């Protein structure tokens, strides 16, 4: 019942970059307050609360230090959680969560009721929120990119088509790991404008293509990817996406779905929380392997296997039939 208090305290600490100020070692709340223009007594109390969550260590001399987990709050570290924190503690998600009571009655996202429009329409209308979202998605999935690139059996040559690939973090990792491959990054033009594929190391091995994956997809690829796309959408919308992708593929071409896979037997899984994020903001959901297989079968694919990774997501390998 205190969850929202911890989240609000975390957001405040993240917004004021307190972890960055502790990067060089322990400091008192008074020293931190002097460096950031904050109230020392209030800051001490908030840090003390977050120390109970393992993000900071409170010492007997009145100083606070970063724990191993707390280092992920820094803005200058690889794998920083800061963009994710700033997104998921944003008022967009707080207001959507407040609507869960109504969602239980209607099944409709609380976000739509709070803002009068769907989530992605709101992002399109608010560039600052869209930027926060894009940065958070890059941070959210960056750890999975290496895990997926390592877990999947990629061919030595050919073209990988990343459908809805965002800024291209996964495609970049794949092309870096497998120098015989080329790639196509397919997404909305606005998202592609901020892609991550530039650099001499990948020169001449990729291009971007703008479009809507509900209606079109690049043809002629040797391997297709859908990473963290289907969980954003209802079953009907997923079938539209998968059918569009299938029409672009030759028979026997492989499709790799990268998404969290919920256990079918009720075993606790971290993606259960992400499923509620989907419930309150979108009409998507996290799915079991059996639910993914049903969608794939109905859209012209055969599920071959499910590959776990070191990250939250698994890889479902399918084949066009």
CA dist 224 and 245 (Å) reads 8
CA dist 244 and 234 (Å) reads 15
For residues 155 and 131, the answer to whether their CB atoms sit within 8 Å is: no
Q: Judge whether 149 lies within some domain.
A: yes
Q: How confident is residue 239, by pLDDT bands cut at 50, 70 and 90?
A: very high
Radius of gyration of the chain from Cα atoms? 21
Considering the domain architecture, whether residues 207 and 309 belong to the same structural domain is answered as yes
Whichever domain contains 36, its CATH number is: 1.10.10.10
Triad 292, 297, 302: Cα angle to 5°: 90
Last residue of a domain, one of 36, 59, 76: 76
Considering the domain architecture, whether residues 70 and 153 belong to the same structural domain is answered as no
Considering the domain architecture, whether residues 199 and 279 belong to the same structural domain is answered as yes
Range of the domain at 44: 3-76
CA dist 249 and 150 (Å) reads 24
Structural domain count, the chain: 2
Last residue of a domain, one of 76, 110, 126: 76
Structure tokens at 174: 């794949």
CA dist 5 and 41 (Å) reads 18
CA atoms within 13 A on the CB side of 95: 11
Is 231 an annotated catalytic residue?
yes
Q: Report pLDDT digits (tens) over 32-71.
A: 999 999 999 999 999 999 999 999 999 999 999 999 999 9
CA dist 225 and 254 (Å) reads 9
Considering the domain architecture, whether residues 256 and 171 belong to the same structural domain is answered as yes
Mean local confidence (pLDDT), 13-27:
97
From the candidates 21, 231, 247, 269, which is the catalytic residue?
Answer: 231
The pLDDT of residue 199 is above 90: no
Considering the domain architecture, whether residues 169 and 304 belong to the same structural domain is answered as yes
Q: Judge whether 126 lies within some domain.
A: no
Whichever domain contains 303, its CATH number is: 3.40.50.150
The pLDDT of residue 142 is above 70: no
In this structure, what DSSP letter does residue 78 have? Answer: T
pTM of the predicted protein model: 0.86
What is the rounded average pLDDT for all residues in the chain? 94
SS3 162: strand
CA dist 73 and 267 (Å) reads 30
Structure tokens at 132: 């926060």
Considering the domain architecture, whether residues 171 and 60 belong to the same structural domain is answered as no
Least trusted range by pLDDT, from 52-56, 148-152, 221-225, 240-244: 148-152
């Amino acid at each position: 019942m205190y969850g929202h208090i911890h989240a609000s305290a975390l957001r405040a600490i993240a917004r004021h970059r307190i972890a960055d100020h502790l990067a060089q070692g322990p400091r008192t709340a008074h020293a931190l307050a002097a460096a950031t223009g904050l109230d020392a007594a209030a800051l001490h109390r908030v840090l003390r609360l977050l120390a109970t969550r393992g993000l900071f260590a409170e010492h007997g001399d009145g100083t606070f230090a970063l724990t191993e987990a707390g280092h992920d709050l820094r803005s200058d570290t690889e794998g920083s959680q800061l963009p994710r924190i700033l997104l998921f503690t944003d008022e967009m998600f707080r207001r959507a969560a407040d609507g869960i009571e109504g969602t239980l009655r209607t099944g409709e996202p609380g976000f739509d009721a709070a803002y009068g429009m769907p989530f992605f329409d709101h992002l399109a209308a608010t560039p600052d929120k869209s930027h926060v979202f894009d940065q958070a998605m890059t941070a959210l999935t960056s750890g999975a990119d290496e895990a997926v690139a390592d877990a999947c059996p990629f061919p030595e040559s050919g073209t990988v088509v990343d459908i809805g690939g965002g800024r291209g973090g996964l495609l970049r990792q794949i092309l870096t790991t497998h120098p015989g491959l080329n790639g196509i990054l397919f997404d909305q033009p606005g998202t592609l404008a901020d892609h991550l594929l530039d650099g001499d190391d990948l020169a001449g091995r990729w291009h971007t293509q703008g479009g809507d994956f509900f209606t079109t997809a690049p043809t002629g690829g040797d391997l297709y990817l859908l990473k963290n796309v289907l969980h954003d959408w209802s079953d009907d919308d997923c079938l539209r996406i998968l059918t569009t992708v299938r029409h672009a593929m030759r028979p026997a071409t492989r499709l790799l779905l990268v998404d969290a896979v919920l256990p079918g037997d009720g075993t606790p899984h971290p993606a259960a929380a992400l499923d509620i994020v989907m419930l309150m903001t979108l009409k998507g959901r996290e799915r079991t392997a059996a639910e993914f297989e049903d969608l794939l079968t109905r859209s012209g694919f055969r599920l071959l296997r499910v590959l776990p990774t070191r990250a939250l997501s698994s890889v479902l390998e399918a084949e066009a039939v």
